[in-house]
Structure 1
Amino acid sequence: MMHILIAPDSFKESLSAQEVALALKEGFQAKLPGATFDLAPIGDGGEGTLEALAHNLDLTDAEVVLPHAFSENGRARYASKGQQAVFEMAEVCGLEKVPLNKRNPLTLSTQGIGEMMTILYDKGIRDLIIGVGGSSTNDGGIGMAKALGYRFFDQSGHELEAIGENLGKVATFSSQDVKSLSGLKVTVVTDVTNPLCGPKGATVTFGRQKGLAEADFDRVDRAMSHFYSQVNPSALHLSGAGAGGGMAAGLVTFASGQIVSGIDFVLDTIQFDDRVKKADLVIVGEGRLDAQSLSGKAPVGVARRTPEQVPVIAICGSLSEDLPSFPTAGISAAFPIISKVQPLEETLADAAVNLRRTAENIANLLCLKE
């Protein structure tokens, strides 16, 4: 009897990790009725992290209204228990919450992140976990810092609006009005290992998908470097600091946060190493598998901790042209689920159907082997 562990990430703007896992199970079960399943939906710092940690830490879901949250009515979710809480940057200022015609990472604010932090602190939270993937911004956390009370000034002493467009103009900053968050432990859960600046930094790697023109990459990257040369030069050499458009660096600099690998943090929490010992096959997946995925995102993170003798198959929305040939990074094979050319909205809406069909087809191949 085959035991299949299904550990997908969410499919952006389409399905939660739990919904992906359920669709895959239905597909495999239709052709392998004797198989057993272990559903382990995960997150790696981006979307799905809140759901995965809330389920496995037995946290209670809640929401607050934030002046600078991009969601409908300014509402943002979090989950908590006792003095511990978790929320996602994507829930406050995620890319999927911003209409296509309004996506500009240099003008969108991250103040909502700092607002969420102060609200939770006032509620008695002292152990705060923040997932920083999936952002729509590229401001190095300057907006979050403003919400905590920091102020930033240009060479003439004029206060600057705390957005990414003004990073290169910062000459001085003040912490005089910073609210004390004494005793607050901030764990920064990142889905990538990218540095803050340079060819693999936040701007060059993630700017395009957030609406930044390639012609602006060099200018914006230099502005980010200028800003951190002023406020915390050590962040320029910190692995993972580029996550969330530099939010990881901002939380380290302005909130004494500690960066941890998102996928490993979540896998430890859900006791993955014990669960995978029982598996004959592991299924991973995300909306788009690409070269960025190989830098520490969910599918590769799961594959890295799966015993060598257990095959890992990736089932994804699409596969990027920049991927190497498989097997690679512990993944035996990868399958895209898109079956036909159609508008993006229809493709996203059909994700569950496509997942089930792809799982059925892979299960058919497994039946041939038996």
Structure 2
Amino acid sequence: MKLVFASDSFKGSLSSERTAQLLTKAAEEIFDETECFSLPVADGGEGTLEAVVSATGGGFVEAWARDPMGNPRRTHYGVTGDGRAIIEMAAASGLTLVPAEQRDPESASSYGTGELIQDALARGYRDVSVAIGGSATNDGGMGCARALGIRFLDERGQELDGIGSDLGRVHSIDMAGLDPRLAGATLTVMCDVTNPLCGPDGATQTFGAQKGASQEALQRLEEGMCHYRDVLLRTFGKDADQMPGAGAAGGLGAALMILLGANMRSGIETVLDLIGFETLLKEADLVITGEGRTDWQSCHGKVMQGIGEYARRRGVPVIGLSGSLGLGADQILAHGITALTTTVNAPMELDEAMERAEELYLDAARNMFRMVKVGMKLGK
């Protein structure tokens, strides 16, 4: 029997790799003959870089890039075994790079993300995927675009810095200096956020406060973002408010799509393609996936949904083994997941469940495989 293990991390307790190790141990104890294949996966957010690099036999590239407040810092991006570059914008423009007391989206810039893209192009990579999320910025992606040669000019023709407070000052956009290497490159945005650029569900109103913006700053940023949206529409004929994902990462989604010609794709779908998941499904008998908590949100671009949909196309059953099941967890059954079970075997506090995560997961895996074995006997 061929088993494929592809779980998301159980944040705070078990990594994707560790769940696969425990599943392998349990399967070898329960079944007489079995082949176990494991793939670390992520949905385009935290852990994506490590998952893709590990699964493809790739590596990491160290590079210098400016953090959201303009300070140069050493960071990195990933490359796959077949020569594609994977960039996490949070590695250069992430919220965690800025101390809480210094967070200010009016002064922050996504310039460092553009520097990482530029570094990948300079090293010869022409297939570049950018996972966007967890940003400290609300600059409409102007900083990223500036790093790649685009100039944002005010009414006097003076170049702007491309920070959040500049949004309302943009009068024209000069594309003449755009890095020519982008013309021969494929740029993919990995994102599962569908927010438009402006409005109550837009970049500023949805995410601005958590990036340190006061109510007054939120109003200024929203007004500036609406002005920026209008400039993009006037210049390129594209309405960022009608483009799902344009508001992701403080508007970086809009810049990548409109200014740099990137394609927007689901994070989990991109990850599964990069790691060759569909190929691994050939001749698979069963897939095990899971996450720390499964609920209604799991159906919106998360790992279990992606795994389930891919497996369903191949006719392979999938069992979800998760830490807990929350409101609407059963909705995931409509996305290729055949059955759900949990690791918790008795009422307990969250802290205890996390402390005992390995023990509980291994016991649950053994019980799950025992039930699978019963099903196999009934099938015969």
Task: Decide: shared fold, TM above 0.5.
Answer: yes
Shift of residue 43, structure 1, vs aligned partner: 3.4
Tell which deviates more after alignment, 294-303 or 273-282: 273-282
**Aligned amino acid, residue 61 of structure 1:** F
How far is the alpha carbon of 1:367 from its aligned partner? 5.1
* Equivalent in the alignment of 1:341: 349
What is the alpha-carbon distance in structure 1 between the residues aligned to residue 122 and residue 276 of structure 2? Answer: 31
1:113 corresponding residue in structure 2:
113
Residue 169 of structure 1: CA displacement? 4.7
In the alignment, is the contact (CA less than 8 A) between 1:194 and 1:201 conserved in 2? no
| Partner residue in 1 for 2:320 | 314
Find the residue that maps to 2:287 and give its secondary structure.
strand
Higher relative contact order (Cα pairs below 8 Å, separated by 6+ residues): 1
Query: Displacement, 1:262?
Result: 3.1
Aligned residue for 2:3, secondary structure, equals strand
Partner of 2:17: 18
- 1:314 maps to a residue whose letter is G
Deviates further, 209-218 or 66-75: 209-218
Higher mean C-alpha displacement, 217-226 vs 121-130:
217-226
Q: What residue in structure 2 maps to residue 40 of structure 1?
A: 39
Count of residues paired in the alignment: 367
Q: Is 2:138 aligned against 1:132?
A: no
Alpha-carbon distance in structure 2 between the residues aligned to 1:52 and 1:330: 22
Does the 8 Å CA contact 2:44/2:190 hold for their aligned counterparts? yes
The answer to whether the Cα contact below 8 Å between 1:187 and 1:257 also exists between their aligned partners in 2 is yes
Q: Is the 8 A contact 1:195 1:239 kept in 2?
A: yes
The Cα shift of 1:300 comes to: 0.7
Shift of 1:64: 1.4
How far the C-alpha of 1:26 sits from its partner, in A, is: 3.7
Determine if contact 2:155/2:171 at 8 Å carries over to the other structure.
Answer: yes
TM-superposed deviation, 1:188: 1.7
Q: Specify every segment of 5 or more residues in structure 2 that has no aligned partner in the other structure, as ranges.
A: none
User: Following superposition of structure 1 onto structure 2, how do residues 323-362 of structure 1 map, counting pairs within 5 Å?
Assistant: 325=331, 327-335=333-341, 340-341=348-349, 352=358, 355-362=361-368
Shift of 1:170: 3.5
* 1:187-202 pair list within 5 angstroms: 187-192=187-192, 194-197=194-197, 198=199, 201-202=202-203
Q: Specify the alignment match of 1:145 in structure 2.
A: 145
Show the 5 A alignment for 1:133-212.
Answer: 133-152=133-152, 160-164=160-164, 166-175=166-175, 178-192=178-192, 194-197=194-197, 198=199, 201-203=202-204
Deviations, residues 76-118 of structure 1 (Å, cap 9, x unaligned): 2322678742222233334555556666655543211111122
Q: Which residue of 2 aligns with 1:62?
A: 61
Distance 1:184 1:29, change over 3 A: same
In 1, Cα distance between equivalents of 2:10 and 2:282: 26
Contact 1:312/1:331 (CA < 8 Å) preserved in 2? yes
- The one-letter code matched in structure 2 to 1:110 is S
TM-superposed deviation, 1:318: 5.4
Cα separation, 1, equivalents of 2:324 and 2:216:
27
Amino acid corresponding to residue 228 of structure 1 in structure 2: R
Deviations 1:309-347 (A, max 9, x none): 54323344555546565633333444565784356xx98
User: Does residue 363 of structure 1 match 2:364?
Assistant: no
What is the percentage of aligned positions where both structures have the same residue? 34
Tell me, which stretches of 5 or more residues in structure 1 are unaligned?
none
Pair 290,167 (structure 1): closer, same or farther in 2 beyond 3 Å: farther
Bigger CA drift: 188-197 or 162-171? 162-171
Give the residue type in structure 2 aligned to 1:267.
L
Q: Please give the alpha-carbon distance, in whole angstroms, between the structure 2 residues aligned to 1:220 and 1:25.
A: 50
Q: Distance in 1 between matches of 2:256 and 2:12?
A: 26
Mapping of 1:98-109 within 5 angstroms?
A: 107-109=107-109
* 1:74 maps to 2:82: no
Does 2:231 align with 1:230?
A: yes
Number of the residue aligned with 2:263: 258
* 1:134–1:21 CA distance, 2 compared to 1 (3 A): farther
Number of the residue aligned with 1:276: 281
Instruction: Give a deviation string over 1:114-162, Cα, whole Å, max 9, x none.
Output: 1112222222333322222444444331221232243445667776543
Alignment check: 8 A CA contact 2:68 2:137 kept: no
Q: Distance in 2 between matches of 1:206 and 1:33?
A: 51
Shift in alpha-carbon separation, 1:265–1:67, aligned structure 2, 3 A: closer
Larger radius of gyration: 2
Change in CA separation of 1:220 and 1:353 when aligned onto 2, cut-off 3 Å: farther
Task: Give how far 1:225 is off.
Answer: 3.9
User: TM-score, normalising length from structure 1?
Assistant: 0.76
Q: Structure 2 length normalisation: TM-score?
A: 0.75
Q: Which amino acid aligns with 1:39?
A: S
What is the CA RMSD across the aligned residues, in angstroms? Answer: 4.2
Give the direction of change, closer, same or farther, for the CA distance of 1:241–1:317 in structure 2 (3 Å limit).
Answer: farther
State the distance in 1 between where 2:277 and 2:205 align: 33
Indicate conservation of the 8 Å contact 1:167/1:224, yes or no. Answer: yes
